[in-house]
Structure 1
Amino acid sequence: MGRDLHLFPLSVLLLSSLAAATAAKSADEGTIFDLAKSLSNLPSSWGAGSDVCVFDGITCERGGSGRVTIINLRDKGLTGTLPTSLSSLTALKELQLQGNALHGDFPSLAGFTDLTRLVLDGNGFTSLPSDFLKDMPSMQYLSLENLPLKPWAVPDAIVGSSSLETFSASNASIVGAFPAVLANLSSLKSLRLSYNKLTGGLPAGLAELIALENLQLNNQMSDGKLSGSIGVVAAITKLKLLWIQSNKFTGPIPDFSNSQLEVFNVRDNRLTGVLPASLFEIKTLLNASLTNNHFQGPMPNIHNVSVDLVGDTVSRFCLAKPGPCDPLVTTLLEVAAGFGYPAELAETWNGNTPCGNWIGVICSNGNVSIFYLHNRGLSGTISPAIANLTGVGKLDLSDNHLTGVVPDALTTMSNLKLFDVSNNSLNGELPMFKPTVKVLAEGNRFGESGSGSESDSSLSNSEAAQK
């Protein structure tokens, strides 16, 4: 009798577990029948019998709970909507519905902790639930391509999907700044967010995506598009395919020497500067598309790489073939490098003849005599290469956003009569110019080390000249 009492709780526990499993299986069956009622053009097997586990596209766990673990109805020509009861299929590991014509709101799958694969491409879903991607730690493959969704932003909850390897959501109505939260997904190998309405720059955190091999951000449809520098991309050393064409990226192409790039597409942007020779020395590189940018300087020496470089892009180089630029052009481009190769300068600073229409450059007898870039929105630093413009008598960089120090080399410019760097953010010590040079330097932070000192270092003309 005592022995029977001892076993009683265990028996109750087993019966309770069995009842729970039976209830869960029954609920799953009810959900599949709900799904059958809400869809049209289902496979014929969905109308035969009551065992949903034999339905085409349905996989159940065998020898255990019997719960539904996979729904794969891809490319079945289905129409209709998804029932809200779909959220009860919590044992689901894969849900593939791509290539159909389903519409309406996509139901909540929050808490689907076993779900590894969700593919919805090419349907007509108009919204995602507010708790989309919440508590999905097993997610590895997420594809939301070509969906007419209401504008939405990638939720912060995606950070919980720490095993995610593929996130593909091209033409899916994603809006706003680039989702910086994605930088936390260290397992990510493929990221495709093309044809959305993203704006602004690429976050520095992208450099942390050490497994990323495929990055596609091309053809943003927002007014501002994606913009700013692409420097962070060069830090993703496993990257093989980069598609960022048809945006508004600016600045130079960074050094990709440590990359494994195979395909490099940056066409139709506003990139500037000298094309780095290191790009075409990448042994894995097969294709580079560079057309319709504002590149400057020498034509690159290209070997064993298919390169798209046509029309106006080619005409911007110094020469139509590889070779050195005119020395004056080389000097001016070194100056532009200090400013980060700004797009405004790149508009006219191209070709091999700077004494003509180059913004801010006025020549006399083939040498630059006036260098005038007042209030051009310049940032970056003052390059010591300016000192090589020995014929300059007037040098005006006032009312910009320049930082760093004034190079000592500028004091050696023998023809300099006016030096104006007023109203920037320069620091350090202003070098001593000759008494014959009129120096305008007020509105800077001279005397500071860049550490945030509060000293007032504005200098009058006579003080600066005699300092």
Structure 2
Amino acid sequence: MEKKPVFFFLPVLVLFISISGICSARIVSNQTTDQDALFAFQTAIISDPHEILVKNWSSDASICNWIGVSCSHQRVTALNFSGFSFQGTVAPNLGNLTFLSSLDLWSNNFTGFIPQELSHLHRLQVINVGFNSFTGAIPSWFGTLTELEFIFMNNNKFSGSIPPSLGDCSKLRILNLAYNFLGGSIPQEIANLSSLETLDMKYNYQITGSIPYSIFNLSSIQKIDLTGNSLSGGLPKDMCNSIPRLRGLHLSLNLLSGEIPFNIYKCSELQDLSLSYNHFNGSIPSSIGRLANIKTLFLGVNSFQGAVPVELRNLSRLESLSIRGASLTGQIPSFIFNMSSLKQVDLSNNSLSGSLPVALYHNLPDLEQLFLETNQLTGQILDKIWDCKRLRVISLSNNKLSGHIPKHLGNLTELEYLFLDNNNFTSELPAELGNLNLVEINVHNNVLSGAIPFSIFNISTVTMLELSANHFSGQLPSNFGLSLPNLQRLYLSDNKLSGAIPSSITNASNLSILDMGSNSFTGPMPNFGNLRLLRTVLIGGNNLTGESPKQELTFLSSLTNCRYLQSVEVSLNQLNGVLPASIGNFSTSLQVFRAFGCGIRGSIPAEIGNLTNLRDLYLDSNELTGLIPGTLGKSKQLIRIYLEHNKLEGRIPSDLCQLSNLGDFYDLLGLNLSSNILSGFLPSEIGNLKVVRNLDLSWNQFSGNVPSAIGGALSLVSLSLAHNKFQ
């Protein structure tokens, strides 16, 4: 049989080949568009510290294989550059990635505005630009991106108002605008987001007005966080009628007022309720006791009246309770310490009295943090405290507790913070505390006595050791400082400690505050120069000596290594030396230098004028001679100058009268040069001391006339010119 020709198939074949070619060309064209957009994005990155793009983005490879890029059908659908540490701006060309559904730039250092070209991304479902440095307004064109489900713009520098057009993102589930600089009111249109589960606008500070009533009709809402704003008004009485899925309501740190609605119990899924730091009044509603799922309850710093409702004892899942600063009186409600699930209790800053409930020691096996400071509690801490084996924080400061500090605290192996200051504890500090990995210890202002246990100085984890204002005696261990690598703040002042200050203290290299004043330490003043992080040195009121073979106070020279130094107090010691010229090399951040009553000889170095931020200079009651250096006039921040009871001579430098801050409003004496041998005429510039309140030039040898310009010192409260040679 003869075969028929197949020519009639040729047109179909040609058409198929043509269509295939067109589609292939279109795919190549679309891929090129996407590639160009990505290269433009790369160009706008000015810093790629890990060289992620340089090493992984190449035109030789498909863009779908580039790091951070996801594709579907050869089109870019997702970009994920979270945590890449990029720095730069977002290229407008990203708006050409028309199939993009997810853009994740979280935790980089992008700056500038969100480009308007991104409004072309109509398939976009996720935009995450949190933890960057974006500025400008929240784009109003977000409302045109109707597929958006997740918006994360938190932790940036966005400003302006919240655009009402966000209410057009009908599929939105999470809206996070926290930690920005947004202001104005919350738009009513937010209530149109019927699928919204999380609304987070915390810590913008300038969001004002009332909370829109309609927000409480978002039936899908699970979390509302408006903490740290300036919202005012009250909460609707029926606020929980239409939000049955709400799990977290965070409204602390606002200006809200009125009563907490009784119907709050209808938010039956509520787990976290935070209303602290507002102006709520009335009583705490007993209906809160019906919130069976609640884990966190913060009601402190409001204006509630009445007692804590006993119904709270029904909150069997409660883990954190804070009713601090709520004017509570009477004894601590005992039922609180029968809530066995509690991990944190904060009843501080009230007027609670009586002793610690016995239930505290038996019924809180999971308790981690106990804050009862600033009340009027009395009695003792029972030894049974060690039953609370998970305690990490004990804060009982500012009460009237007495008795001994239980040695059984040493059995609380997880204890990190112990605050017992401003009470009436007696006896010795338990050596058993040295067994713990404590971070901070504060027993300031008690009646503790005896030697400080050496074990305390071997707690390698401790950052603050506050033992001042007690009756501790004895000497410091010779290896003091060798086992304190993390110590930052040391307070031993106002005790009865004696002996030398061990030179090994300089091994505590992280010290920033050293306060050992008002003890009975003897021996040479240590050189603290190795403590490079020192900000404050308070070591006055001891019996330390300072003279070196050259008569200079070399320990002061060593402090020039401390470039963060702000305050030095060495008064009332037996230094008996000369101020070194190197005092002018102190840190320029130095604000206070006190060395009165030390037997310091010689002249005041002219280099002291290099301390341009010095505010307080106390060199009174020494044996200083010579002239007052005119260079002090360069220290423009000086507020107080005490040079009385020395042997200074010559004239008052006219530059000293140009100190515009001298005698600022909170000082005791602005300028005291009394009881010296100063002479000559008073400079007419003395009238420039516009804010000086107290001026004492008595017991000198000034002569001539009192200048009329002194009337220009308009703030003068006290002026003493007695016992001079004025005409």
Q: Which residue pairs with 2:224 in the alignment?
A: 57
- Distance apart, 1:57 and its partner CA: 2.9
Say whether residues 1:319 and 2:476 are aligned partners: no
Q: Aligned partners of 2:216, 2:333: CA distance in 1, in Å?
A: 41
Q: Aligned partners of 1:282, 1:106: CA distance in 2, in Å?
A: 43
Q: Closer, same or farther in 2 for the Cα pair 1:56/1:158, shift >3 Å?
A: closer
Say whether residues 1:171 and 2:335 are aligned partners: no
Secondary structure of 1:257's counterpart equals helix
| 160-169 or 79-88: bigger deviation | 79-88
Q: Which residue pairs with 1:110 in the alignment?
A: 289
Same amino acid, percent of matched pairs? 28
Secondary structure of 1:133's counterpart equals helix
8 Å contact kept, 1:46–1:52: no
Q: Closer, same or farther in 2 for the Cα pair 1:215/1:95, shift >3 Å?
A: same
Q: Closer, same or farther in 2 for the Cα pair 1:49/1:280, shift >3 Å?
A: closer
1:58-91 deviation per Cα after TM superposition (whole angstroms, max 9, x unaligned): 89xxxx9935433322223211112333345444
| Paired letter, 2:499 | L
Question: Between Structure 1 and Structure 2, how many residues are aligned?
Answer: 274
Q: Which residue pairs with 1:261 in the alignment?
A: 438
Q: Which residue pairs with 1:425 in the alignment?
A: none
Q: Closer, same or farther in 2 for the Cα pair 1:134/1:49, shift >3 Å?
A: closer
Say whether residues 1:230 and 2:230 are aligned partners: no
Q: Which residue pairs with 1:193 in the alignment?
A: 372
1:77-122 deviation per Cα after TM superposition (whole angstroms, max 9, x unaligned): 2111123333454443221111211111111122432110100122
Match of 1:278 among 438, 455, 472: 455
- Distance apart, 1:211 and its partner CA: 0.9
Secondary structure of 1:148's counterpart equals coil
Q: Aligned partners of 2:220, 2:254: CA distance in 1, in Å?
A: 18
TM-score by length of 2: 0.35
Match of 1:299 among 465, 469, 476: 476
Q: Aligned partners of 1:247, 1:297: CA distance in 2, in Å?
A: 23
Say whether residues 1:308 and 2:488 are aligned partners: no
| Paired letter, 1:95 | L
8 Å contact kept, 1:180–1:205: no
- Distance apart, 1:131 and its partner CA: 0.9
1:123-177 deviation per Cα after TM superposition (whole angstroms, max 9, x unaligned): 111223441431111111111121123x133323224422211111210222110
Q: Closer, same or farther in 2 for the Cα pair 1:83/1:236, shift >3 Å?
A: same
Say whether residues 1:162 and 2:344 are aligned partners: no
1:12-60 deviation per Cα after TM superposition (whole angstroms, max 9, x unaligned): xxxxxxxxxxxxxxxxxxxxxxxxxxxxx8644314685566598389x
8 Å contact kept, 2:396–2:420: yes
Q: Which residue pairs with 1:95 in the alignment?
A: 273
8 Å contact kept, 1:122–1:146: yes
| Paired letter, 1:216 | S
Secondary structure of 1:167's counterpart equals strand
8 Å contact kept, 1:46–1:56: no
Q: Closer, same or farther in 2 for the Cα pair 1:351/1:161, shift >3 Å?
A: same
| Paired letter, 1:186 | P
- Distance apart, 1:241 and its partner CA: 0.9
Q: Aligned partners of 2:492, 2:225: CA distance in 1, in Å?
A: 50
Secondary structure of 1:252's counterpart equals coil
Q: Closer, same or farther in 2 for the Cα pair 1:322/1:75, shift >3 Å?
A: closer
Return 5+ residue gaps in structure 1 as ranges. 1-40, 324-349, 353-467
| Paired letter, 1:142 | L
Return 5+ residue gaps in structure 2 as ranges. 1-207, 227-241, 504-519, 523-727
8 Å contact kept, 2:355–2:377: yes
Q: Closer, same or farther in 2 for the Cα pair 1:153/1:173, shift >3 Å?
A: same
| CA RMSD after TM alignment | 3.0
Q: Which residue pairs with 1:125 in the alignment?
A: 304
| Paired letter, 2:412 | I
Match of 1:287 among 454, 457, 464: 464
Q: Aligned partners of 1:298, 1:279: CA distance in 2, in Å?
A: 13
TM-score by length of 1: 0.53
Match of 2:383 among 204, 207, 210: 204
Q: Aligned partners of 1:193, 1:244: CA distance in 2, in Å?
A: 10
Secondary structure of 1:228's counterpart equals strand
8 Å contact kept, 1:199–1:227: yes
Q: Closer, same or farther in 2 for the Cα pair 1:351/1:125, shift >3 Å?
A: same
1:200-224 deviation per Cα after TM superposition (whole angstroms, max 9, x unaligned): 100222111111111111112xxxx
Q: Which residue pairs with 1:247 in the alignment?
A: 423
Q: Aligned partners of 2:271, 2:453: CA distance in 1, in Å?
A: 47
- Distance apart, 1:322 and its partner CA: 5.6
Q: Closer, same or farther in 2 for the Cα pair 1:300/1:103, shift >3 Å?
A: farther
Q: Aligned partners of 2:261, 2:211: CA distance in 1, in Å?
A: 20
Q: Aligned partners of 2:221, 2:454: CA distance in 1, in Å?
A: 60
| Paired letter, 2:333 | P
Which is richer in strand? 2
8 Å contact kept, 1:43–1:56: no
Q: Closer, same or farther in 2 for the Cα pair 1:119/1:250, shift >3 Å?
A: same
Q: Closer, same or farther in 2 for the Cα pair 1:42/1:113, shift >3 Å?
A: farther
Q: Which residue pairs with 1:152 in the alignment?
A: 330
Q: Which has the higher contact order (CA 8 A, sep 6+)?
A: 1
Secondary structure of 1:157's counterpart equals helix
